[in-house]
Each structure stands twice: as structure tokens, then as C-alpha cells.
Amino acid sequence: MARASELLTPPPADAGRLQALDIIRGAAVLGILLVNMQLFAMPNAATANPYALGQPSFSDLAVWSAIEVLAESKFITIFSMLFGAGVVLMTSRVEQRGLRPARLHYRRMFWLLVFGLVHAYLLWHGDILVAYAICGMLVYPARRLSARTLAVVGVLLMSVAMASALTAGFSWPYFPDELKAEWQSYWQPSPGDVADETAAFKGGWLAQQSWRASYSAEFHLQDFIAWDLWRLSGLMLLGMALLKWAVLTGGKTRRQYAVLTAMGLATGLPLAALGLSRLHAAGWRLPEAVFFAPQWNYWGSLLAALGYIGLLMTIWQAGVARGLTSRLAAVGRTAFSCYILETLIGTAIFYGHGLGLFGSVDRLQQLILTVAVWFVLLLLAPLWLRRFNYGPLEWLWRTLTYGRVASIRRDDRREATT
């Protein structure tokens, strides 16, 4: 029987690394920033509604529409599926050492929850780590199910969030006037509310705090229960299934990935575009804009995400763009650190404790800034990994999980010989 100290002995840094997974994860981290940059730069309502701040310019509407169709919910879907796959990978590696993984897994999720709460309430309200930690705890017992069962249950869980939104939409005529007004103020805030939010985030850290805490609490309570709990848990189970089917590890043929690419993108992106057309047809009015039209992208994003995965694996297997894929893999290996670095860069540019550009940068400029941050991450991640085994936050998370200091420098082999 393994001793407790053996359970908390971490494996070598590169043990079981799968480049295919790292490439997909790296692309997901970069793609998420296309959506998150809007949350950094503008009042919250403007992310979902390009008319929230008034009549948008042609370029603003064009950029928002492109991101809505090509990126919104697609890359977070990929990242969520990879998180579920990571649960299976980590626990299976622990089990291969003859140990029980539950203790390590729940310690790992506990510390992720702590990181997420710090991130959400002290840095940025768009945090996803808290939801990942909670859902990661909940899906853990399902890791041994067959791939088919995981996929079916995953889709069923995702359907709960869809049903919740549709139920709210059909119930709209019966909503109390006060609740309708609350939803309307979320979707189309008054000029005064926009001015107050802009002034707060252009102010110092303390001035931002009440807004940040309020948004975070709303995301972690109301939105999580109605939406993220079901969607993220379902996606994690689907990720477990895709791992067992070897889709995420490059284990399919090039032809199979080409078919996945074609089918995923040819169905997912048109569905997202159809949802956008429904928004236009409804005049961006409630309840269609919030409860009905987004359903098309909800499912379209899953199909498009599979298409993006197929495309990345097709490129990787073909051996083209090796410089890019190796850099994407480096970003994927340091995904936690890169995700938080995106927050630090975004808030430093837009919030008052930095350059204070909140509310004054149009969407095309936001897109240019996003690409610039991509270049920074694609440059820094490989440079960091030349000297270190992990990203800085990966190292801290690993150290806290195992209860002993992990070896971070590449020239330090103590961990490998422990």
C-alpha cells in the first residue's frame, strides 16, 4: 500500500506531456481573449449587445459580428472540454503509480477555487476559474464511464441550460414588471449607469471594487446556477469522451480530422450566423435577444469548436507551420499563467490603475490589441519554458496541490529523482 508521502510526490515535469493537447489548449487560451478583450475594454452589457452603448459604427458592428460568429463561446467550449480531459489524464497517471487520485484531485480543485476567487474579486469579474473548480469537483466521479455514456450525459447536461433559457423566454409575458425592468437594464443600461460604470473602472482599484464584486457575485450565483453549472459540466464530460476516443490527442487519422473540420465548421458557424440574423430580425429586443436567439450559437459553438480542433490536428499531423504549433504548445503548457497574464495586461491597459482607457477604445482597436497580446504570449511562453519546467502559476498550483515545492528550473533534477 502506498504511503501518504508517496501520494504527494509529484511526477517529473514532462511526464506524459501530449503535444496535441497543448496545441489545442494554447489556441483556446488565445481565442478566448477575442471575447474577453471586450469585457476588459467596455461596460459589461456591450459584450453581448453591440447597441448597449448606442448606435455602433459600421466597423464596431462588423468586428462584434465577426467575433460573435467565429469566437464567441467557441474557444471557451474547447477550453472547458480540455479541462474535463485533464481530470481523466491527471487521475489516470496517479492511478498508474498505484495510488488513489481523489485526494489530489480535490486538493487541486480547492486551490483552483482559491485562485479563481482572488482573480474574480480582486482583479477581474470575468473569471472562469471558480466555475471550473466547482464543476471539476462535481464531474470527477464520472471519469470512469464509457466514452459514449459521457458524451450522452454531457449533451443532456448542456440541454438543461438551454431549457432554462427557453423556459425563461416563454415565461417572459408573466414576469413581474420589476423583473422585466431589471433584465432591460442589464441588456440596455441607461446612459447614467454606463457613465457610472465607466467612471468606476477608469478610477483606482478601490473605485472599481464594488462593481467588480457585484458582477462576480452575480456570475458565481445566479448565472452559475442557471447556466454555467450545466454547460461547463456537460462540456467537461464531453472532453472526457473525446479524450477516450483519442480525438484530443492526435490519435485519429488525417482524413478523420479533415472530416471533423469540415462538418464542424460547415454546421457550427452557419448556426452561429443564424443566431446573429435572428438578433437583427428581432431588433435586438428582449426576450428574443437574450433567451431565444443565443440558442443557435449555443449549439453552434460546440460544433464549431470540434471543427477548430479538427483543423488544429490536421495542421499538426501535416507537419506544417511547425513554428506556430510549437509556440501554441508552449502557451498551452503555461495556459494558467497566460490566462492570468491576459487579465493583468487587459486591466493595465483599460482600468484606472493603469492607462485608464476603459470605454474609449473602439472594437477594431480592441482587435488590434488582442493580436498584439497574442504575439507577446507566443513569444514569452517558449522563452520561459527554455529555462523553467512550468509557468509560474502552474508551478504554484502544483506545489500547493502536492504539498511540497516542485522543481521549477530545468537544470534542477531533484524532482525527477525524488
* Residue-level pLDDT at 2: 42
The reply to whether the predicted model has a pTM over 0.85 is: yes
* Residue-level pLDDT at 111: 98
- Where are the chain's structural domains? 20-325+360-369
pLDDT along the chain (418 residues), means of 10: 44 62 98 97 95 94 97 97 96 84 95 98 96 98 96 97 94 93 92 96 95 94 92 98 96 96 98 96 92 95 98 95 96 98 98 96 98 98 96 96 88 46
* Residue-level pLDDT at 410: 82
* Residue-level pLDDT at 97: 80
* Residue-level pLDDT at 17: 56
What is the SS3 string spanning the chain? CCCHHHHCCCCCCCCCCCHHHHHHHHHHHHHHHHHHHHHHHCCCHHHHCCCCCCCCCHHHHHHHHHHHHHCCCHHHHHHHHHHHHHHHHHHHHHHHCCCCCHHHHHHHHHHHHHHHHHHHHHHCCCCCHHHHHHHHHHHHHHHHCCHHHHHHHHHHHHHHHHHHHHHHHHCHHHCCHHHHHHHHHHHCCCHHHHHHHHHHHHCCHHHHHHHHHHHHHHHHHHHHHHHHHHHHHHHHHHHHHHHHCCCCCCCCCHHHHHHHHHHHHHHHHHHHHHHHHHHHHCCCCCCHHHHHCHHHHHHHHHHHHHHHHHHHHHHHHHCCCHHHHHHHHHHHHCHHHHHHHHHHHHHHHHCCCCCCCCCCCCHHHHHHHHHHHHHHHHHHHHHHHHHECCCHHHHHHHHHHHCCCCCCECCCCHHHHC
* Residue-level pLDDT at 13: 47
* Residue-level pLDDT at 119: 98
* Residue-level pLDDT at 325: 96
